Each structure stands twice: as C-alpha cells, then as structure tokens.
Amino acid sequence: MKKLLSLLLAVGMLLSLSLAFAEETKAPDPKSILEGVKLEPSKLLYLEKPLEITGMGIHFNNYPTEYDGCYYFPAIEQKTNAKFMIDWRSTDGYDTHVATTLASGKLPDIIGAGTYGVLNLAEEGAIVQLDEYLDLIPNIVEAVGEDRMAYWRQADGHIYTIPTIVDVPGAHSVMLRKDWLDKLNMEVPTNWDEWMALWRGIRDNDLNENGDATDEIPLALEMGASGERCMSSLMNAFGIRTSSDTQFCVLDDGTYTMVYEHPRYMEFLQTVQDMYKEGLIDQEFTMRKQAELFTAMDSGLVGTAMTWAERARISTGTNRDSGAKDALWECVAPIVGPHGDQITQERNAVTNVWCITSAAQEKGIVEDILRVFNWNFGEEGLILYNYGIEGKTYDMVDGKYVLKPEIVANGFVDYRATGMEYEPFGGKWFTDAFTQCLFKGLTIDELDDASQSFYNGLAVVNNDYFYAMPQTLETEAYKEFRGELITGAAGVCVLRDQCIAGQISVEEFQQKYNELKAMGLQDVIEQGSTAYAEIMGK
C-alpha cells in the first residue's frame, strides 16, 4: 500500500498532461457516473451482513447532498456492504440541532461535533473514546502520522474522532503587488529593513495612480471573524509560532502558553504600534475581516497582504479587469523579522469530523464502523475519494491517475459536484488530485502568470518555512473564560487592538493583561500547559 500511496503523491505537478479543453466540455451528471458500472466487492473489506450507518453532520460547499446525488456513497456500499444515511445540516444553528438530538435520547451512529465541541459531547457520555481501537484503524493512524498525533487528540488526551486529512501543507502566503514593487525599483525584501522600506514606499507614492497619495495600504492583514486572528504574519516574523487563532503558542522549551507570555510579544506589540502610528499598517485593521480584505485588494488599495494563496490569482484578474493591466499579485516567502525569523503556519492538515456515538456502542457496531472508515483511508477508498471511477472520472495514463478533462475543466466545481473529495464526509486528499483540479490539468509552464503565482504560494516559496500550528486546547478554563476574557468587550483581544492603535501604551496593555490573568486567564494558561504536556506524553 505504501508503494501505491508514494506513487500517487509523487505525481503532483510533474504530470505531463497534454489535455485540450473544448469550450463545450461538460461535467457528467453525478447520478450517471455509476450507470453501467458494476463494482466488485472490496478484497480488503466486505461486511458479511449489510450495515446501515446513520449520522448527522454539517454539509458545506458545492457537494451533492442526496444519497443518490453522487457516485460516492453508492460506491462505498457496493464495495463494503455499508450504507451511510446522513442527516446533513447547515452550519447555522447546528449547535441547536446537536443539543436537540442529545435531549431526544435518539442519537445517530455517528455525529459531527461542529462548534458544539467534541469534549462537550464526551462529557455528556454521547460519544466513544477511540484510543483502545487504534489497532483496528491502521490506515487512519498512518494518514494522521506520528508528527500530527497530538493534533488528533483532545485536551483531555483522548482521541474521539475520525479525521479528514488534506495533504497539502500550503494554504496562505504573504503576497505583494509586483507591479508596484517595479514602480519603486525595488526587489522582493529579504530582511526587515527592506520590508520597512517597501511599506514606506507604498505609503508615500500614489502607486495606484488614482490621484490620491493617501489611500494606499502598505500592509493589510485579515482580522478573522471572531477578532482573535490578528497580525499573524508579523507575529511569525518575531518568531512566535501561533495557533490558528493567534492566541496560543509553544515556546522553545516546549511549554504551551498564551502568546502574550512569549518573551518577544511585548517587543512585537511595540513594533506594530509604531508601524500603525507611521501609517504602515492598515488603519482599519480591526474592521478588516476576510471579505473586506479581499475587497480592498481587488480595489487596488493594498500593497502587501497575507491571505489565501489563491487570492493572488483572483485579485490579479480583478485588478486587470478594472484597468490595471500590469497588475500582478506575487506570492513571496514569509516576512523576515528584525531578529531574522522567517516562518509561516502550515495548513491544519488534521480536521476532526465524525464521532462514534454511544448509540452505536449499544448496537455493538463500533468496530464495524471503524473498519469501514479504515477502508476509506486504504488503497481502494483513497482512489475512490480522490479520483472516482476508472473510465468515468479518471483514466490510467502511464501508470498515473489522470482526472478526465470534463471533471477538471472548471477547477474544483465539477470535481466536487460529482462527489469527489467529499469533504463533509472526510477522507485523505492527495496533493496530486488537488493540483490537477486547481490548474485544470495543465502543467506549471502552461499556466498564466497569476496562476503560477498562486502555485508558488501554495507549493514553492513557503516550503522551507512551515511550522505545525499548536492547537487551541478547549480546556474547562478556556471554555469558561474565552467569551469574557479573550474575545469579550474587555478581553485581551480588544486590549491588544487598542494598544496597536495607540489608545493605550504597551505598559498599560501589560498591566491590564495581568489583571485578566488574575480573573481567569492564568487558569487558561495552566490548564492548557498541563493538557498539552499530557498530549505530548511529557
């Protein structure tokens, strides 16, 4: 199996495809993919008795929702004799659906925790610990990998979930307007002083040529919907390896703590306060959520940013369509900080999806459910998840899995609409399948400059700088105090923003932060540190 997986993953962008996409290329009707196809029962797993697995989970993106709306679930049934019956729900109000289901006492066999929280389900006795079953799911254990096992465990040290894995480490990238860089006769910065010089150059020149020399934003960073994720790329430039919400980090000695405890945090805070005062940082950073960041980039206002690498392609096209014919958003390596630090967060590859419930345990079907999921992470399941059905959605070309032109002609749209990479259900997504969709089967050399920039941000310029993000551990103290002391109106995130904007000094921030520690943040820190040590086996 390892030989096969290595072959699949090695293909990547080295595929030398000569695919010509006709204008009339149309994706197949999802319901037609299995027409005329008789799948042989799996040689690796075929249950003696039919197994119906009920579930409730969150559906999103443009995947089919009907059981017969795609090839995927019927194919699993033909191969394994297991039929999944999922009650798909939207993100909105999902917590209420979970609570109602728990109150009814009629649990499905598998359930997605969503923001209700895995540990909350565990504390209510609704789900099963999987630690003792790991020998039954070697394919899943291998997919997670030894280096990522800590991110599979919850704050209590136990494993409760069937994950989904995205084996594409890149996601976000620092990017800059290459055409603006050229106007300034500058090269891509390689140290902190050069970055500062670039930001000042963007500030001081009417680079968008609209007659207003004051509307350019040298550096714009996404705040995040909850207000937690702020200034992540600048924190990285100071060597602070943050969690995805920028609230937690792991120190050099392995201690898990809040970022505010990092020995360089106050220096970072003073630096960004000075940058804000100098007009180098987005003056509206507290309001710059993802959509607003994209709008500013598309409107020709932003000179450098940190966001999804794909935005380099999209915003380049939008700016060109608006008249800036030379516009090019170029993905570049991470910002180099004043101490020479240059790091960036890798994609959170392990996402928790399904919990097996106590109802399944009462039925005595936990082990069978795990066998089916383990099959899904094995050879047959991985091919089905990534490439679909041979002759229908992919062909074998020189020993390689090549998605058909009609499947990738619209990027991810038709690929997902047929049910491939069925992310709401979960599996392991190969880099090869990802990039075939991403670039519609073309090789790198065949891509336009904006798409090449996107690819570079995704899989080239950041590769030497990734670090695995520490978890945000949902300890009892975290759950109790997050809404009040972290994200609340008088919480540490608001204090941080006030300090960056110069409304309070760094010394005042530290004083107020210490007051919050006395009110409960110290408990968050201590419980997080203890939980992390337990997870890491220290």
Which range is least confidently modeled, 59-73, 86-100, 177-191, 317-331? 59-73
Residue 391: pLDDT band (50, 70, 90) is confident
Residue-level pLDDT at 10? 37
Residue-level pLDDT at 375? 95
Residue-level pLDDT at 13? 35
Residue-level pLDDT at 30? 63
φ, ψ dihedrals at 330, nearest 5°: -105, 125
Residue-level pLDDT at 68? 55
Is the pLDDT at 5 greater than 70, yes or no?
Answer: no
Which range is least confidently modeled, 89-98, 300-309, 352-361? 89-98
Is the pLDDT at 351 greater than 90, yes or no?
Answer: no
User: Which residues have a Cβ under 8 Å from the Cβ of 155 and sit 6 or more positions away?
Assistant: 119, 471, 473, 474, 475, 478, 527, 528, 531, 535
pLDDT tens track for 148-181:
787 888 888 899 999 988 877 778 999 999 999 9
Is the pLDDT at 3 greater than 50, yes or no?
Answer: no
Token digits of residue 405: 């032109």
The mean predicted confidence, pLDDT, of the chain is 87
Residue 209: pLDDT band (50, 70, 90) is very high
**Mean pLDDT on 441-461:** 85
38 or 489, which is more confident?
489
**Rounded distance between C-alpha atoms, residue 191 and residue 259, angstroms:** 24
Which range is least confidently modeled, 2-6, 44-48, 241-245, 348-352? 2-6
Which range is least confidently modeled, 46-60, 245-259, 375-389, 440-454? 440-454
Q: Read off the DSSP letter of residue 234.
A: H
2 or 486, which is more confident?
486
**Rounded distance between C-alpha atoms, residue 299 and residue 173, angstroms:** 20
pLDDT tens track for 456-476:
998 889 999 998 888 888 889
The secondary element (H helix, E strand) that includes residue 218 is strand 217-221
| Closest to 292 (Cα-Cα) out of 228, 360, 222, 205 | 222
DSSP code per residue over 344-378: EEPP--EEEEEEEBHHHHHHT-HHHHHHHHHHHTS
Residue-level pLDDT at 371? 96
**Contact predicate 470/241, CB 8 Å:** yes
**Rounded distance between C-alpha atoms, residue 116 and residue 126, angstroms:** 12
CA Rg value for the chain: 25
Residue-level pLDDT at 29? 66
| Closest to 530 (Cα-Cα) out of 261, 343, 257 | 257
**Rounded distance between C-alpha atoms, residue 349 and residue 166, angstroms:** 5
Residue-level pLDDT at 7? 33
**Contact predicate 297/275, CB 8 Å:** no
**Contact predicate 506/266, CB 8 Å:** yes
Is the pLDDT at 319 greater than 60, yes or no?
Answer: yes
Is the pLDDT at 18 greater than 70, yes or no?
Answer: no
User: Which residues have a Cβ under 8 Å from the Cβ of 165 and sit 6 or more positions away?
Assistant: 143, 144, 349, 350, 351, 427, 428, 429
Classify burial at 226, counting beta carbons within 10 Å of its beta carbon; exposed 0-12, middle 13-18, buried 19 or more: middle
pLDDT tens track for 22-48:
334 566 666 667 776 778 888 889 898
**Contact predicate 500/231, CB 8 Å:** yes
Q: Read off the DSSP letter of residue 529.
A: H
Give me the amino acid identity at 176.
L
Is the pLDDT at 12 greater than 90, yes or no?
Answer: no
Which range is least confidently modeled, 279-283, 301-305, 390-394? 390-394
**Contact predicate 50/377, CB 8 Å:** no
- Which residues are 150's β-sheet partners? none
